[in-house]
Structure 1
């Protein structure tokens, strides 16, 4: 029971207490890749701790189920018949089923999100085949729309799409900067993280982590794409281009150069923050790696 309470407290820490602190921290905007990993580590930590806590709560004082090894024992009863002094009971089944339900809870939302995203992308790509025209000089597809917008569609037929309005207002350098931003999304397969994080946020709706991980991850992925564009273009060029396309609407399942948190990103582009010192960087990486491991270590004890 003490282990179950400790694991539940750890799950509450990862799911409710830590997310607001991470969202208010200043270092994530200076190191967005590490920050995305930190958010994913919080998600993993919460799921592991919650699942193991539920397992300890339902496996009441039964010797074969003590700790994480007890869960493995129940899962492998057929391979190790001598591990349990009798046939499996409903309690044994519940001890395995309860944590499995916690772990798999986002799966229906993930499947639904993948299906909807693929269907939306297919519709958009079919439409682009009919109304879009390719501009080889930029490697983009142009559509006749007056509102400036630049976005990408992922998948095997990935495209970077530019509206006629964007071509009219952006200079050559600005257009290349936002196109590089979109290519960063495609190369990093950011759409997969979008679907994964969205599934978690829907499965655990109401949890502070569920709300903040979606909001912050989407913003950090835009910052990662901004950093990619800044490797080849100046800050002023990218910032001006972002302002021009900020109002453009993107289709479902597309990632746009305007993106989320444009004002925050503009400030970051124009007023870059120094990266964390080496010591702080090592501490961040160590905490990110250790957080999901602690509930496993706690559950391994008797």
Structure 2
């Protein structure tokens, strides 16, 4: 029995239906780190399902078990006497999934390298124009709008405008600096590069578009939660309000920006942590979802 119909249905469900269900869920803003993990798990699951679908469509008369044996044989991992030489369909069954994997990896590397180059150029300009503040552990730039952002990576920088230093209270400054430290420590730029790469390879898929948008928002919420460990909700909210008009340069992560309104509502609204049972079940689902395409393509009991 060929698994292509089931894989096509699963891929469509993950790529088109799952994003809308997740967007309507109420728990995502209560557990942003878990929600970001779910978006990434769905992206991985969709990628694997697409690769397996391509393999099964290339060999429509074979079951996936045979396709996997063909893949191993092509890679030299099985005895040639037990497997015939692969024909064109076999080569397509191997080549198409490999091409999808290479495209995703290459896109991720390209986004990482390109963003690193942009941040390096900006970092060099910041070091020339700004002045380092040992008290703030940041570089202060002459700029009339309150703004704070970070340049993550191998040589991270936190950049703050002198207008922010003048207008924000010490507590507000501490909150936004803690926010930026969370971005750097969490290597959030790599998570963004991953969803950017996924969107580059699958730009027409709703999952790719929403994963990119929601990951950016959820990472800001994760950084907000880090700041709230040491600072009050009111301090962080007023600091975010002061910097709502600021825009981060390309490749940077900022406490302000277009997501401020949503985050302000979250910070100032009623706080209710996700129930441990919900957290555990969603975390388990995030771990299992990437493996589901393999079960769909090769269910137990089929040979």
Query: Is the aligned partner of 1:205 residue 2:208?
Result: no
SS of alignment partner, residue 295 of structure 1? helix
Q: Is the 8 A contact 1:67 1:299 kept in 2?
A: no
Query: Is the aligned partner of 1:81 residue 2:80?
Result: yes
Cα shift at 1:188? 0.1
Cα shift at 1:274? 1.3
SS of alignment partner, residue 149 of structure 2? strand
Cα shift at 1:154? 1.2
Q: Is the 8 A contact 2:145 2:161 kept in 1?
A: yes
Deviations 1:61-86 (A, max 9, x none): 247x53663354344446421231x3
Query: Is the aligned partner of 1:214 residue 2:230?
Result: no
Cα shift at 1:87? 2.2
Relative to the length of structure 2, the TM-score reads: 0.93
Q: Is the 8 A contact 1:230 1:238 kept in 2?
A: yes
Q: Is the 8 A contact 2:58 2:92 kept in 1?
A: yes
* Separation of aligned partners in 2, 1:67 and 1:276: 44
Query: Is the aligned partner of 1:49 residue 2:64?
Result: no
Report which stretch shifted further, 90-99 or 143-152.
Answer: 90-99
Deviations 1:34-89 (A, max 9, x none): 101110110011011111111111113247x53663354344446421231x3222
Report which stretch shifted further, 111-120 or 206-215.
Answer: 111-120
Q: Any gaps of 5 or more consecutive residues in structure 2?
A: none
Cα shift at 1:8? 1.1
Superposition pairs of residues 50-199 of structure 1, within 5 angstroms? 50-62=50-62, 66=65, 69-77=68-76, 79-84=78-83, 86-199=84-197
Moved over 4 A (4+): none
SS of alignment partner, residue 160 of structure 1? strand
Task: Kindly report the root-mean-square deviation, in angstroms, between the aligned alpha carbons of the 2 structures.
Answer: 1.7
Name the structure 1 match of 2:267. 269
Q: Residues 146 and 277 (structure 1 numbering): CA distance in 2 closer, same or farther, change over 3 Å?
A: same
Q: Any gaps of 5 or more consecutive residues in structure 1?
A: none
Deviations 1:96-119 (A, max 9, x none): 001112223333432331222111
Deviations 1:154-187 (A, max 9, x none): 1222110000111121111101100000000000
SS of alignment partner, residue 105 of structure 1? helix
SS of alignment partner, residue 95 of structure 1? helix
Q: Residues 272 and 225 (structure 1 numbering): CA distance in 2 closer, same or farther, change over 3 Å?
A: farther
Relative to the length of structure 1, the TM-score reads: 0.94
